[in-house]
Amino acid sequence: MEERVGEIWHNFITRMADKNYPEAEVKLVDIKKTVGVFFRALGGDGALSVLQTDASEYSSERGLLRRIARSTEKYEFAWLDEGALRLPEVIDYFATKTLNKELYLWLAALSSIPKQSADWLLDNQQRTQLALRAYPGLKALYQRLLNAHLSQRPEIDKISKAERAAEVLIVAALKNPGSVSELPPSKYMPRLVLLWLHPSPPVSQTEVAKDLGDSDNQRSGQEKDATDIGKKQAKRVETPEVARGLITIRMENLFTWGEFANMDRSTDDDEDPDNAKDVAKDLDELAIARNQRASKVQMKFDLDLPSEAMDDEILASGILLPEWDWKTQTLIENKCQVVSLVSSHEQDTQLPEHLKATAKKLRNQFQAITPARTWHYAQNDGQEIDMDAYLKYKTDALAGHSDGKVNLYKSLDSGARDLSCLLLADLSLSTDTWVNDDSRVIDVIQDSLYLFAESLKATGDRFGMYGFSSRKTNPIRIHTLKAFDEPYNGQIRSRIADIKPGYYTRMGAGIRHATSLLKNQVAMQQLLLVLTDGKPNDLDQYEGRYGIEDTKQAILSAKALGLKVFCVTIDEKANDYLPNLFGANGYSLVKKVTDLPKMLPMLYARLTI
């Protein structure tokens, strides 16, 4: 009962306090694409995706109601980091949908302009100036937003004296961007400015690197062994706050374990530093990074991996592949090591019962479309004269009964094709997820491989099938399912039957290895089909932009060798990153996962005919 009353009170008082307009709200998901195109057209980096931001604490002076409603205020600010343009999930600050949408566009426009100054106030003003100068059409938009926003700002006589000066200056800065250089010191931030970007965005890695580069002497103290917990290697670290002094290790600053990973456990924040310390003891390597305000503990575990490695026979190991580091824009030679595997229990295996009917249908269809180059006779146009038809025409004409038919030519149509295709399937642990009650992603991939092989066998095209997974740079596990020179038979089927999910997706390395296999094939056309269920990722820094950029480089070098690269994915978020990797027409998203087995051969047909 008490809880219920509390809830009603909370809702009542927050509604009183928030002067927002839920009926006019605009959601990021609905206009994500628009904002993305807009951002990129204005010069934003194409590798960045549009994501929603987290709420950040923002302590400005507040009215009584707001203070009653909440202990702290949180807002969603827009900011740009190395991986994404981050915008609020919902904007409902203004009374009309148009204005709320325009605020999204305005924030995207501001973000498209490079950072002008380290100072929030100057930066936002200068960006505003530049945006308005570069894009005259935004002037009217800015004016509309400004009017709406100014009417929402507190009246000057209703705020405390201490904040008044700041408020006057903020309004001036909004009206005449560039006119205010400094705010008077205050214990609060100025009242929220909706039209500006995040006052103190979480620091990105590149910026940290820059900061560190700027002050080398600060940096030298930070890469330290954590001596109090034994020999631990500390990784890229962060500028410590001057007041705290130089320290060997601060447990509440423990940021990642092993290597950077996206598992946010902020609720576990440094309650008990000893726990973190115990954990740290078990590690090979510690990475420590700067925190904004509340410290966060992020951990990623080397997940319990299936023991599939035991089942496979190692064909070859020690093939070294390079990897692209986008931060230094260099290709690091010999970074990844490939281990080539093949299933060790091979036996004659039949096609699973449930696929037999579909396989038969596909085989027939593919046989029908197998292009054989033949002469088509009695055509009304063609390269050569059809002598038989011509003779008949002439004799008929001489005999006096011409039927007026003029199909006297023959033409040679649909040439035989000279095509090699390599199908590279993602066998990472993420394929272990269930898509419905009966099957996992890996099962769907398995069915797809079967049907793909059945169909391609019917076309007569040369093809190979490989699976890949990885665990950091060593090993990159390449499973040979069917090499190019092997015939498709029961043995191949048993290898397909034997695939298991495991490890991670170092896609760049997978593509590079596949490229090297495929480019040795003698064929006029070489097609590399990548079948995946998600983004490139791995335990180390391969998560996020690093992986995307490396994959992109791998694709570019495959294309430079004349290979055609195409990706088939079942990741619904693929539209965010695949256009950048494979090009707008270089991939296909299969929305209904269970359709994949049937779709894949069809896609192949569409791509190659």
Partner 1 sequence: MNSKNVPFYKPQGNEVELFEHAYNNQLPLLIKGPTGCGKTRFIRHMAAKLDRELYTVACHDDLTAADLVGRHLINEQGTYWCDGPLTRAVREGAICYLDEVVEARKDTTVVLHPLTDDRRILPIERTGETLEAPDEFMLVVSYNPGYQNLLKGMKPSTRQRFTGVSFEFPDKQTEIYVLLAETDVDKATAEKLVSLANAMRALKDHDLEEAASTRLLIYAATLIASGLPIQQACKAAMVEPLTDDKETIDALMEVVNALLG
410 is a contact residue toward partner 1 (CB under 8 A): no
CB of 107 to partner 1, least distance (A): 13
Nearest to 170 by CA among 141, 199, 210: 199
CB of 249 to partner 1, least distance (A): 42
135 is a contact residue toward partner 1 (CB under 8 A): yes
Provide CB contacts within 8 A for 8, sequence distance 6+. Answer: none
CB of 155 to partner 1, least distance (A): 32
Residue among 213 and 415 whose Cβ is closer to partner 1: 415
**What does R_g of the chain's alpha carbons equal in angstroms?**
31
Q: How far apart are CA 512 and CA 606, in angstroms?
A: 25
3-state secondary structure of 507: helix
Question: 534-573 mask for partner 1 (x: CB under 8 A)?
Answer: ----------------------------x-x-x-------
CB of 38 to partner 1, least distance (A): 5
290 is a contact residue toward partner 1 (CB under 8 A): no
138 is a contact residue toward partner 1 (CB under 8 A): yes
50 is a contact residue toward partner 1 (CB under 8 A): no
Select from 38-46, 164-172, 262-270, 532-540 the region that touches partner 1 (CB under 8 A): 38-46
Nearest to 609 by CA among 476, 448, 459, 495: 459
CB of 382 to partner 1, least distance (A): 8
**8-state DSSP, 418:** -
Helix count (H) and strand count (E) of the chain?
18, 21
579 is a contact residue toward partner 1 (CB under 8 A): yes
Count of residues engaged in binding partner 1, rule: CB under 8 A: 47
Window 580 to 599, contacts with partner 1 (CB under 8 A): 580, 583-585
Q: How far apart are CA 206 and CA 214, in angstroms?
A: 12
Provide CB contacts within 8 A for 205, sequence distance 6+. Answer: 82, 236, 327
Residue pair 479/316 in contact by the 8 Å Cβ criterion? no
Residue pair 509/470 in contact by the 8 Å Cβ criterion? yes
137 is a contact residue toward partner 1 (CB under 8 A): yes
**8-state DSSP, 297:** -
Q: Which of 189, 351, 408, 496 binds partner 1 (CB under 8 A)?
A: 408
For the stretch 37-74, what's the b/e string if a residue is b when 16 or more beta carbons lie within 10 angstroms of its beta carbon?
Answer: ebbbebebeebbbbbebeebebebbbeeebeebeeebe
Q: How far apart are CA 329 and CA 546, in angstroms?
A: 11
Select from 28-36, 163-171, 314-322, 461-469 the region that touches partner 1 (CB under 8 A): 28-36
34 is a contact residue toward partner 1 (CB under 8 A): yes
Q: DSSP letters of 522-558?
A: --SEEEEEEEESS--B-SSTTTTHHHHHHHHHHHHHH
524 is a contact residue toward partner 1 (CB under 8 A): yes
518 is a contact residue toward partner 1 (CB under 8 A): no
CB of 2 to partner 1, least distance (A): 48
143 is a contact residue toward partner 1 (CB under 8 A): no
Select from 256-264, 382-390, 467-475, 481-489 the region that touches partner 1 (CB under 8 A): 382-390
Q: How far apart are CA 424 and CA 25, in angstroms?
A: 44
User: Exposed, middle or buried by CB within 10 Å (0-12, 13-18, 19+), for 490?
Assistant: middle
Q: Which of 223, 269, 384, 388 binds partner 1 (CB under 8 A)?
A: 384
Window 99 to 118, contacts with partner 1 (CB under 8 A): 105, 109
Q: Which of 141, 288, 424, 530 binds partner 1 (CB under 8 A)?
A: 141
Q: Which of 218, 516, 525, 588 binds partner 1 (CB under 8 A)?
A: 525
Q: How far apart are CA 270 and CA 78, in angstroms?
A: 28
Q: Which of 332, 390, 572, 573 binds partner 1 (CB under 8 A)?
A: 390
User: Using CB under 8 A as the criterion, which residues of the chain lie in contact with partner 1 when the complex forms?
Assistant: 33-38, 40-43, 46, 105, 109, 135-141, 382-385, 390, 393, 406, 408, 411-413, 415, 417, 419, 524-525, 527, 562, 564, 566, 579-580, 583-585, 607-608
